[in-house]
Structure 1
Amino acid sequence: MHKLHYISTEKKDKNHLQHIQEACESGCRWIQLRAKDISTEDYIALAKKAKIITDLHNAILLINDRPDVAKAVNADGVHVGKEDISPAEAREILGEGKVVGGTANTIEDIQRLYDYGVDYIGLGPFRFTQTKKKLSPILGLEGYQSLLDQCKERGIDTPIIAIGGIEVTDVENILKTGVHGIAVSGVIANAINPAGVVTVMNDILNRTSTPVL
């Protein structure tokens, strides 16, 4: 599984597709389309266009919240939030061979998702982020370390992806807690040089070098 996940966003100057295109061109190979307050018809239309972009770059495409949309466009999988459809229901809709990920904030969340058999767990938030309206309690490094230690004690080996306001300078310390990777949005979408940001993060995540930041 890729260690760098990009979650799409929409801003005044760029829409989801432009951001996804930019992320793929910058080297991201795991993309999550996260569109809120949008009709099913529009979500499917958007997802179809997103899949064209990800296919061209040999990137994974996941759809946030909506396994029905993911199935309609033959996306690689779905990510479900704490208040969304259950991972079991999502997998039943998508069928075998597709990725199902879920959101967690506590050890109880993690255990529940592990028991469901999800492919990865998005754990956060690391710090405050404006990309989510209903924000769970912030974890920080200590929170991650505590939860990852508890995962070891329980024998939970599902890949954990850290998420929530993560900056480039956070990545190395977050990795030390034992997480598999990170999910980001704004740090790439708002970057003057997205490709440079992706390169540095991938270097740290894959431990090929230790860039000077």
Structure 2
Amino acid sequence: MSKPVVDYSLYLVTDSGLNHPSRTLLQSVEDSILGGVTLVQLREKDLPTDAFIDLARKVHAITKKYNVPLLINDNIEVALAIDAEGAHVGQDDISCVKARQLLGPNKILGISTGTPEEAKKALADGADYIGIGTCFMTQTKSPKRTLGPIGVRTILEALPADHPLKTVVIGGIKDDNTRRVIIHSAGANGRILDGIAVVTGIVGAKDAKVASEKLHSEFKAGFDIATKKIKGDMTGRATVDSVLKSLPQLLTTLREKSPLTHHVSNYVVMNDTANATLALGGSPIMAPSAVEAEDLSNVVSSVVLNIGTLTESFVDCMYEAGKHANRQSKPVVFDPVGAGATTLRRETTRKILNAMHVDIIKGNAGEISTVASLIGCDTESIAMRGVDSLGNGFVNPAAVVQAVATRENCVVAMTGTIDYVSDGYRTVAIENGHAYQGRITGSGCMVASSIASFAAISPNDHFAAAVAGILALNLAGEHAAARSDVHGPGTFRAAFIDEIANLTPEQMLSEAKIKAI
């Protein structure tokens, strides 16, 4: 008999200890298959062999009924006894080579991997697929570290693009993070995860069929987006020229709707960012408590996460605010202030990028350089001193923002003497602004707030929101600096807020100095 053809898209891994009390494990398996599960692994670490074989036969009867392959976890004897379609082994179990010898060439064999080296060895040892994990914290395991989408992507990129080895991700995979994991783990070599392996999200759910349907739908959506990302699909994206023509209307709409933006922000500039948001026409709420993040997600239209003044409570709130914003498809703007200055800031930046989907990353050259290094993006590097970049900036800044945007599937807005915005497909340079903006505290943080306000009323084009958000404040900076009552940074600060409020939609078009790259 030849080896089965396997669809790895939704891979159920059972666990009797986590099975929902309202039904038996057998019912869970059948309901999950009816909901879209395409592959089942029976994992029973504590059952004696005879009992394991008995349960495996009962499960196999169900999976065969629906032509879904059954794999046995870490027990080749059981797999052979019931003639299962294959087996899965861990790094501390029987070796992949020995398992293949016992199973023969026509059985499916998978192995758990957590590093690029383990993945390459699995490929060499004849595995059909690898389970990559642990992605997030989970009830079934307590790993020393989690990979997150960035770590998963590193493993995918260690594999040959054209090798038939299949890949699934495991560990804390739920319906609210599946799409993000698939999209953000897609490798520069064209590798996209072939499936998600789920334990608690299915067996622990009250309705395994409904849970499986949702997970399968989220996997397909993520896979489709990741495929378009790899292919560089521009479908549905407005041209740069169309975006520029839309800027006046964006400002008008913002002032008409006055969207509410949740700021988990740098307390040094909290008053400035709140005032800038109000002057622009938006509405700010400065709420650094994790306890109310879920409630706020129901009423706000966008979220700003700013790591300028890191405290444990701020970080907890950022995770909660970002997570709930993702669940409700509310745009998240991340401002990695001083990301490269300390280990704490670097690690917090890494955790945020792994824990949630960030729609727009806004930072100076040093901050974007740090983000690039954390996500494994091979670009130039810029050193930092505190929250400031050192040196003359990137040799090719447009290429950097485009590379980071492509890798993270988001919009990147890099501020400086010239500002650059890219979504990986469209890239522009914005040459408006005044030097005084760089001589007052919080001007960059105000830009993040401005971008978030525009993102709230431009949910389908965050690139346009980032361009509008930067341009609006840069024009206000030019107008403020030209006033006769402005004699330096101190008087500029007050005038700046005035001119944000005075900005007209017509100026957004007539005074813009924006070049497509």
Partner secondary structure for residue 161 of structure 1: strand
Please give the residue correspondences for 1:45-84 in structure 2 after superposition, counting only pairs within 5 Å: 45-84=54-93
Which segments of 5 or more consecutive residues in structure 1 lack a partner in the other structure? none
- 2:96 aligns to what? 87
Q: Is 2:193 the counterpart of 1:184?
A: no
Q: How much does 1:24 deviate?
A: 2.2
- 1:40 aligns to what? 49
How many residue pairs get aligned? The number is: 211
- 2:176 aligns to what? 169
Q: Is 2:137 the counterpart of 1:128?
A: yes
Moved more, 41-50 or 10-19: 10-19
Partner secondary structure for residue 112 of structure 1: helix
- 2:116 aligns to what? 107
- 1:18 aligns to what? 27
Separation in 1, partners of 2:90, 2:224:
34
Which structure has more helix as a fraction of its residues?
2
The amino acid across from 2:165 in the alignment is T
- 2:394 aligns to what? none
1:68–1:94 CA contact under 8 A, matched in 2 = no
C-alpha root-mean-square deviation of aligned residues, in Å?
2.4
Moved more, 172-181 or 65-74: 172-181
TM-score by length of 2: 0.38
Separation in 2, partners of 1:54, 1:136:
34
Q: How much does 1:152 deviate?
A: 4.5
Separation in 1, partners of 2:70, 2:220:
21
The amino acid across from 2:49 in the alignment is T
Separation in 1, partners of 2:36, 2:158:
33
1:9–1:19 CA contact under 8 A, matched in 2 = no
Identical columns (%): 31
Q: Is 2:10 the counterpart of 1:4?
A: yes
TM-score by length of 1: 0.89
Change (3 A) 1:117 1:130: same
Moved more, 89-98 or 79-88: 89-98
Separation in 1, partners of 2:15, 2:93:
19
2:100–2:126 CA contact under 8 A, matched in 1 = no
Partner secondary structure for residue 200 of structure 1: helix
The amino acid across from 1:190 in the alignment is G
The amino acid across from 1:131 in the alignment is T
1:121–1:159 CA contact under 8 A, matched in 2 = yes
- 1:117 aligns to what? 126
Partner deviation per Cα, 1:81-102 (whole Å, 9 max, x = no partner): 1100111211211112110000
Partner secondary structure for residue 32 of structure 1: strand
Separation in 2, partners of 1:109, 1:59:
28
Partner deviation per Cα, 1:133-160 (whole Å, 9 max, x = no partner): x63521011111222223258x755211
The amino acid across from 1:10 in the alignment is S
- 2:165 aligns to what? 158
1:29–1:57 CA contact under 8 A, matched in 2 = no
Q: Is 2:153 the counterpart of 1:145?
A: yes
The amino acid across from 1:162 in the alignment is V
- The structure that has the greater radius of gyration is 2
The amino acid across from 1:143 in the alignment is G
Q: Is 2:220 the counterpart of 1:206?
A: yes
